Amino acid sequence: MPRRAATAEKPMTRKRRDEVFDAAARVFAERGYHGASTQDIADLLGMRQASLYYYFHSKEAALEEVCARGTAGFIERAEAILKSDEDQGTKLHLLLAAQVMPMAEGADYVQTFLNERKWLPTESRRRIGRMSRRIEAIFERVIRDGIRAGEFRQEINPRLATLGLLGMMNSVAAWHDRESAGLEKIAEALSNLVIGGIRQPEGSNYGS
Amino acid sequence: MPRRAATAEKPMTRKRRDEVFDAAARVFAERGYHGASTQDIADLLGMRQASLYYYFHSKEAALEEVCARGTAGFIERAEAILKSDEDQGTKLHLLLAAQVMPMAEGADYVQTFLNERKWLPTESRRRIGRMSRRIEAIFERVIRDGIRAGEFRQEINPRLATLGLLGMMNSVAAWHDRESAGLEKIAEALSNLVIGGIRQPEGSNYGS
DNA sequence: ATTATTCTCTATAGAACTATAGAATGATTG
DNA sequence: CAATCATTCTATAGTTCTATAGAGAATAAT
């Protein structure tokens, strides 16, 4: 009886499997997909390089799995916020926070998804890309609704605002660990920054 | 007399040298430093892989040169804006635009600097990193001054705002070419977004 | 205890990549 | 023309990397 393919139902315990992908995520996040070797992953596990192929059938497949785990929950949480009956300002605030908070738990997975997904082979990149576009669509929806409701300013370009906001929030993954502030505080500060704006509104200048 | 080292004064014409680094920047930007081979660069030039080593003495050195070119002018322009006697709101607006506009000309250089500098060897990474920190310091200075002057809101955290704004503006490099809007329009939209805020100020709701 | 199953190991094929050495080509100048 | 210098070429050493094949160890099932 032949050994089961790595892609089929997994006889290996979830625990060990998770350790392997944790290591892969770690190494991909730290060195980048192309800069990471399967040897690096094996070293982290105290395992031989070739043994990894029991858990995935190619380095690319490992990247795909890590990226997929990196997006887990994002869409669901965003959809839930979209469907909630908060006002659009609150929804946007929640969306912004939801984009940042998962960087606490699965930091390596999220960072790999953000930075390395572009190296996936065309097919899986498309599949993963669909998730990004879904997130973008939800942001854009909330912004448009907010403008329509008179809650957000008319001049805002929903598409560019979406991409800018996501760019800002996703950049957090690259620097939050070097700052003293925790993710919660960062999410709060940035959300407040963009929703309220930097400029002091006219007439409410109680300084000087 | 031995051949001159690639790092010393360059006998080669500036023109050809620029073509070589343009190709390197292109390939680094497209495939990432580790994903790019010197063969890829040579292919783009219609040249043999080994011939490249007449222009640089290692792939790492090529990356360093490309990154250095990618930062050219940034500091100078930011310093000039800081020293100008505009109000802080205008300064911030100009800084934000200055962060985005160079992505038109040297797109490949800028993108390589932003995404690949982390793979530089420690020494040159430090050197390049100093430039980033200088830009950050200028942003932070303007924000603090704006708050002190009562021009910006007191609640803003200057450090986190700086990192968030730079994250947003730098993200433009990753997506502007897929959007119909030109860089000028993007810079304007994002700057207006963060300075004025998303939310419609109370009392000026002339909709509905 | 024997057998089956899961996991890890050794060994290695085969490909790709960086970098060096030195010859060949082409242009420029005396 | 001859000599010099700049640029590109051929050839290749030496390393690293992915992935496969199949043996062996460990664990669980009958």
Q: Flag whether pLDDT at A55 surpasses 50.
A: yes
Query: What is the torsion angle, in degrees rounded to the nearest 10, for the CA atoms of residue A171, residue B133, residue A176 and residue B106?
Result: 20
What lies within 8 Å, CB to CB, of B92 at 6+ separation is A198, B139, B142, B143, B146, B191, B195
In B 35-54, which Cβ lie closer than 7 Å to strand C? 36-40, 49-50, 53
Q: Which residue of B has its CA nearest to A181?
A: B160
Q: Enumerate residues near strand D (beta carbon within 7 A).
A: A 36-39, 49-50, 53, 57-60; B 1, 3-4, 10-13, 16, 46-48, 50-51, 54-55
Q: How far apart are CA A143 and CA B198, in angstroms?
A: 9
pLDDT band at B16 (very low <50, low <70, confident <90, very high): very high
Contacts of A125 in chain B (CB under 8 A): none
- Tell me: the pLDDT tens digits for B111-131? 999 999 999 999 999 999 999
Tokens of A199: 């400029």
User: To probe the interface with B, which of A37, A198, A206, A208 has the most B CB atoms within 10 Å?
Assistant: A198
pLDDT at B5: 37
Backbone angles phi, psi at A6, to 5 degrees: -65, -20
User: To probe the interface with A, which of B199, B204, B205, B208 has the most A CB atoms within 10 Å?
Assistant: B199
Q: Are the C-beta atoms of residues B134 and B77 closer than 8 Å to each other?
A: no
Strand-pairing partners, residue A175, are: none
Give A195 CA → C10 C1' in Å.
60
Topology (CATH level 3) of domain A11-59: Arc Repressor Mutant, subunit A (1.10.10)
What lies within 8 Å, CB to CB, of B173 at 6+ separation is B103, B107, B110, B111, B114
- A163–B154 CB contact, under 8 Å: no
CATH 1.10.357.10-classified regions of chain A: 69-198
Alpha carbon of residue A74 to chain centroid = 7
Alpha-carbon gap: B38 to the closest alpha carbon of chain A (Å): 15
pLDDT: is A1 or A110 the higher one?
A110
pLDDT at A12: 61
Neighbouring CB atoms inside 10 A of B150's CB total 14
pLDDT band at A59 (very low <50, low <70, confident <90, very high): very high
Q: What is the 3-state secondary structure (H, E, C) of B98-132?
A: HHHHHHCCCHHHHHHHHHHHHHCCHHHHHHHHHHH
Neighbouring CB atoms inside 10 A of A173's CB total 22
pLDDT: is A54 or B4 the higher one?
A54
pLDDT at B140: 98
Tokens of B64: 């360093």
Q: How far apart are CA A166 and CA A154, in angstroms?
A: 20
Concatenating the DSSP letter of every residue in A122-164 gives HHHHHHHHHHHHHHHHHHHHHHHHHHHTTSB-TT--HHHHHHH
B195 close to A (CB below 8 A)? yes
Alpha carbon of residue B204 to chain centroid = 37
| CATH architecture, domain B69-198 | Orthogonal Bundle (1.10)
Tokens of A106: 């699965």
Q: How far apart are CA B151 and CA B87, in angstroms?
A: 9
Mean pLDDT of B94-121: 96
Q: Please indicate, yes or no, whether the overall pTM of this predicted structure exceeds 0.85.
A: yes
Chain D positions with any atom < 7 A from a protein CB: 5-12, 16-22
Q: How far apart are CA A6 and CA A10, in angstroms?
A: 7
Smallest Cα–Cα separation from B168: which of A130, A169, A1, A154? A169
| A62: nt with nearest C1' to CA | D18
What lies within 8 Å, CB to CB, of B40 at 6+ separation is B27, B31
A192 close to B (CB below 8 A)? yes
pLDDT at B12: 66
pLDDT at B206: 47
